[in-house]
Amino acid sequence: MHNDFLSRLKATQEKNVEPVDVEVNVEASEIRITWSDGHQGIYPFIHLRKSCPCAECREIRHQNQAKKGGGLRILSGPVPTAQNLALVDLFPVGRYALGMHWNDGHQTGIYPFDFLRSLCTCPSCQGTKREGKS
């Protein structure tokens, strides 16, 4: 069983996995993605929104990190929270990514499949990440 797990993990890293089923659960504010290797991924909206890989969001995160501890908030605009965030649209981008359109108007986030896969919050992926560090 352990070997099987390791070989599956290896397969994920070497092969390009892609979503075979995507289910948006509005009530739970999360997306569930079934991957081509059979993995069921769980992706809360807020987690996806905060991990947005577009240049704009990366810059905002960078600035937030730089002024951590400082009291002044220079950036304006609504801060997404788990309560008011909603996914307006989910659309395929080429054959490698999903684009997400959020209700805060943001729609430049393109999530490549391998990146999306790495964002998975299911217990097994969270456990893998922790174990992988040691």
- Closest approach of Zn ion to the CB of residue 32, in Å: 10
CA distances from 18 to 61, 110, 121 (A): 27, 14, 17
CB 112 within 8 Å of CB 96: yes
Give the range of 19-27, 62-70, 71-79, 118-126 binding Zn ion by CB under 5 A: 118-126
Interaction mask 44-63, Zn ion, x per CB under 5 A: --------x-x--x------
Does 125 bind Zn ion (CB under 5 A)? Our answer is yes
Rg (Cα) of the chain, in Å, rounded?
16
108 vs 60: CA distance, rounded Å = 14
Residues in contact with Zn ion by CB under 5 A are 41, 52, 54, 57, 109, 120, 122, 125
